[in-house]
Structure 1
């Protein structure tokens, strides 16, 4: 495998980021599948299975299931759903951090390992959660006031986690670093993430036909697969975008990025 050391590009290139993202996945398909299954696919499957069983019992008029409709049981289920949402949030951040590590290692000509990626993700967990909460609250509140400012904030912070994992700047330092790197390239980043969203929509449309035909547990499995795939693609695209933005802004090679782990 050869290192991805390229001449300094003049601008952020969507096509290049997409090509490199799929290339990273292709070269590390086993690693990506393992991380995606552990941090996204399996948790999604378990929650959807629990919800399917619960709702199926209510629809069928099962007395045991109907008993769950009382206020105390509904409160318990709501709390369980909230706990799962928090757990899924943390796991998604672990997945992103692990895939950032894998992406940089791969683009530097090395073979990323499962254990190393997990170790880096755990090491960065607390500040990564801080970034996740800040981005969710900041972009979310701005979107409530007006949609466009929320999108602009989110795009400005879209490479904060890669910046944290690579440069260890802390929560606010990484968010500030992300805004500096994305300045002047946010329309291109918007185009990139719009393409990824359309890819997800297209996959869901195709699989939706299968779900309508078979439904039940097949729908649960397909939902978990789609969730895992899109989480992986978005995380790797974010890491590749970080590399591309640093090359555009600073002419930084992938070897320079990797030195932080030496």
Structure 2
């Protein structure tokens, strides 16, 4: 049995193992994962759209007034960070053989929201600076820090400790990590484009393309509630999957580097 564990650690990580773990987290905890994402990300946007706030933000930006858009962006960003932390916690619980508890997920998401924000901002700044220098350094930093966000939730390593932990976990597997992240990003991008095309059609903005040569951008018309709801559901599934892929990558790297948790090892040798 010990040789089996060593063999599992030596085989490294793969697209199948990461994507499979992510799918299993969602499949085994559909209400906790998809429900949390919908409640924190899709539902607020859906409700705000029903009262016309989305159109108001769009109109204010057109007029050069960015205050409302800034407040809207902060609220949406904080909810997204809370949802991200909650989904990482669900992935950790699944790895421990437990069912994801929505109350626990939300508690962890709220408590880790500010550290996640700090890590996210520092990561973006570092990658942006690296990208200025011929792009390659930015890609290298993105891969090196790819599991910093899950690390700060799963191990509470602190803002700067999360970067060090991610660097240590990805060492020796960065080409694999790059390939996995690239494939996940392509899938996410294609899904986002499909959602965007549906949104444009739903808002009736295709008329801009045949608007008789006029340059001005008309305000979007409000789509039906059913269209918005379907878009929200699809967005929820895509974002949940993409976030759990990142968390699953962290778990796979941690198992590869450190081996299974002590509790699971005790069960194996019992």
User: Does the alignment pair 1:85 with 2:85?
Assistant: no
- The corresponding residue for 1:19 is 20
User: Structure 1 residues 207, 165: closer, same or farther in 2, change over 3 A?
Assistant: closer
Bigger proportion of residues as helix:
1
Partner of 1:170: 158
Q: Counterpart of 2:233?
A: 225
Is 2:125 aligned against 1:137? yes
Structure 1: which 5+ runs fail to align?
59-67, 258-262
Note if contact 1:37-1:228 (Cα within 8 Å) is conserved in structure 2. yes
Instruction: Report how many residues are paired.
Output: 239
| Correspondences of 1:115-194 after superposition (within 5 Å) | 115-194=103-182
- The Cα offsets for residues 58-113 of structure 1, whole Å up to 9 and x where unpaired, read as 7xxxxxxxxx6996xx42xx111112222222222211111111111112211111
Task: State the Cα deviation string for residues 135-159 of structure 1 (Å, max 9, x = none).
Answer: 1211123224432222221221111
Q: Secondary structure at the match of 1:109?
A: coil
TM-superposed CA distance for 1:204, in Å, is: 4.3
- Aligned-pair Cα RMSD in Å: 3.0
Report the Cα distance in structure 2 between the residues aligned to 1:231 and 1:14, rounded to whole angstroms: 18
Write the mapping of 1:17-56 to structure 2, written as runs, cut at 5 A.
Answer: 17-46=18-47, 50=52, 53-54=55-56
* 1:9–1:247 Cα contact (<8 Å) kept: no
Instruction: Give the structure 2 partner of residue 8 of structure 1.
Output: 9
Which has the larger displacement, 146-155 or 100-109? 146-155
The gaps in structure 2 that reach 5 residues or longer are 204-222, 266-270
Between stretches 5-14 and 176-185, larger displacement belongs to 5-14
Change (3 A) 1:125 1:211: closer
Decide whether aligned partners of structure 1 residues 166 and 154 sit closer, same or farther in structure 2, where only a CA change above 3 A counts: same
Select between 14-23 and 155-164 the one with higher mean Cα deviation: 155-164
2:9 partner SS? coil
Shift of 1:219: 5.6
For residue 218 of structure 2, what is the aligned residue in structure 1? none
